[in-house]
Structure 1
């Protein structure tokens, strides 16, 4: 069931859904839900778009019944956590490969698919600033590395300063794309300005069995195998834990909401995911955020 040309913006989300039909039907369901909601906003009046969207709704209803036993479908909070965790796992896998200087098609696809899944999180509400940054960075990295490999150049590993740069040509288009990274020192959390690269067709990138690319669930993504010669990691500044957080005695005076506990759980989950890839800096940052929230009631 191909989407009409008017709905080009959701083509890749639908492709991601198709790819996860067997691997993770929950991911497939929410990708289609996002595609349906976005498609309705783009064009729900033209006959071909309306016909396509009605079929997509019917498909979603069937999937919802088939997956009714999954808490990720029956409870939005659980579904949100499932998609967010899957996207973060893909992002961390690709980021780990990137920082280690291992550039390949499956890593590019992991970056790009992660960016699409961060899009999908909008079905549960507004994205957090952190997820917005992850989405922009993943999209930009996928485009940058793709175009470098295509032109025979060696990409620059790790975060790259992107201030004032615009990358708006068709990702994967012939004869285009950023061949050189923006000049400037690496940043642990790059800021983003200008247009982000648009999507390209990833249909020619296959994920073979046993590769590092995500398989059945986010938890199945294996840590990158160590190469014969261990690459020198990109130096990262180690966050310093604020001693005042450890000595705070206001616990009894702070009143927490259910949302506070949910946010604290998210930070702990992010830290656990980062540790799976030996990313100590990110783990410490998220644990520090959780500690601050649980001792002061503020982020």
Structure 2
């Protein structure tokens, strides 16, 4: 990375973990690193772009973005927003699914906590493309809450409750996670909060749904030690027995012509096709067929 950033102004504390995540991904996934910095840049501009220390910091951050953009050249994930959006979203949900699988299996460790938290940061970065879907809003809130809850349980020597648990009635503050990880990636000491095990609601939280096409491979994108116990059997894929029947009307519906399709329609159709392609990589025929049908219906009828 070309320009070294000056000390982070206190005003920009809310993006310090996004910038750290960018540094961690400079070699692992430069596209993710780019959009984490872009999110920090956009957020910083909204917070304070006039004070001398903030202007200096934002100027250096902009230099980093320009350097990284040149290094990536004609990368589709940078030149095409829809490709970049799909890249960041899929990466974030891979991390979410890895952490969720570890959680459901009762394997609680620092790397799982960090994967939950990093997934929430990457979903923040996804907002550079526009508003999050309701599903991703829930993913972000749940991942950040889970990271804090499990961290506090382990810190106090209490075994966390595995799997989805309710958020109803919790005094959840999305700004309460700012100190969850220090510069070394270790959870700092925190005082007791409403996330203590005794305050965990007993109802099951079932609002989290993974969007079509988002799949977690056996190994999360995060750098994890081999001792985490992750194997190719961690993730199970749907069997072909529930493949949806193709709607016969789709074959007989004449195309309405490009004039009836908006730019948003084309973007949605491309996204459905990308989700289908991602599903096929993991032999998920059911999800692939569903998304291809959605794309075909949108392109032929102009309706979803």
Q: Could you say which residue in structure 1 is the equivalent of 2:81? A: 76
Q: Could you say which residue in structure 1 is the equivalent of 2:142? A: 137
Query: Matches of residues 45-194 of structure 1 in structure 2 within 5 Å?
Result: 45-168=50-173, 170-171=176-177, 172=180, 174-177=190-193, 178-180=195-197, 182-190=200-208
Tell me: CA distance 1:97–1:261, structure 2 relative to 1, closer, same or farther (3 Å).
Answer: same
Q: Could you say which residue in structure 1 is the equivalent of 2:249? A: 249
CA-CA distance at 1:175 after TM superposition: 1.7
SS of equivalent residue, structure 1 residue 170:
helix
CA-CA distance at 1:183 after TM superposition: 2.1
Tell me: CA distance 1:116–1:133, structure 2 relative to 1, closer, same or farther (3 Å).
Answer: same
Separation in 1 of the partners of 2:280 and 2:118? Answer: 21
TM-score, reference length from structure 2: 0.72
Cα pair 2:168 2:201 within 8 Å, conserved: no
Tell me: CA distance 1:150–1:21, structure 2 relative to 1, closer, same or farther (3 Å).
Answer: same
Q: Could you say which residue in structure 1 is the equivalent of 2:41? A: 36
Separation in 1 of the partners of 2:137 and 2:229? Answer: 25
Runs of at least 5 residues in structure 1 that lack an aligned partner in the other structure:
192-210, 217-221, 234-239
Tell me: CA distance 1:251–1:133, structure 2 relative to 1, closer, same or farther (3 Å).
Answer: farther
Equivalent residue pairs, number: 259
CA-CA distance at 1:125 after TM superposition: 1.7
Q: Could you say which residue in structure 2 is the equivalent of 1:206? A: none
Separation in 1 of the partners of 2:83 and 2:35? Answer: 12
Cα pair 1:241 1:288 within 8 Å, conserved: no
Matched, 1:265 2:265: no
Q: Could you say which residue in structure 1 is the equivalent of 2:215? A: none
Runs of at least 5 residues in structure 2 that lack an aligned partner in the other structure:
181-188, 210-217
Separation in 2 of the partners of 1:141 and 1:290? Answer: 34
SS of equivalent residue, structure 1 residue 97:
helix
Cα pair 1:153 1:179 within 8 Å, conserved: no
Q: Please, what is the CA RMSD of the aligned residues?
A: 3.4
Alignment deviations for residues 165-184 of structure 1 (CA, whole Å, 9 cap, x no partner): 22237344522231125323
Separation in 2 of the partners of 1:91 and 1:252? Answer: 40
CA-CA distance at 1:114 after TM superposition: 0.6
Separation in 2 of the partners of 1:157 and 1:290? Answer: 35
TM-score, reference length from structure 1: 0.74
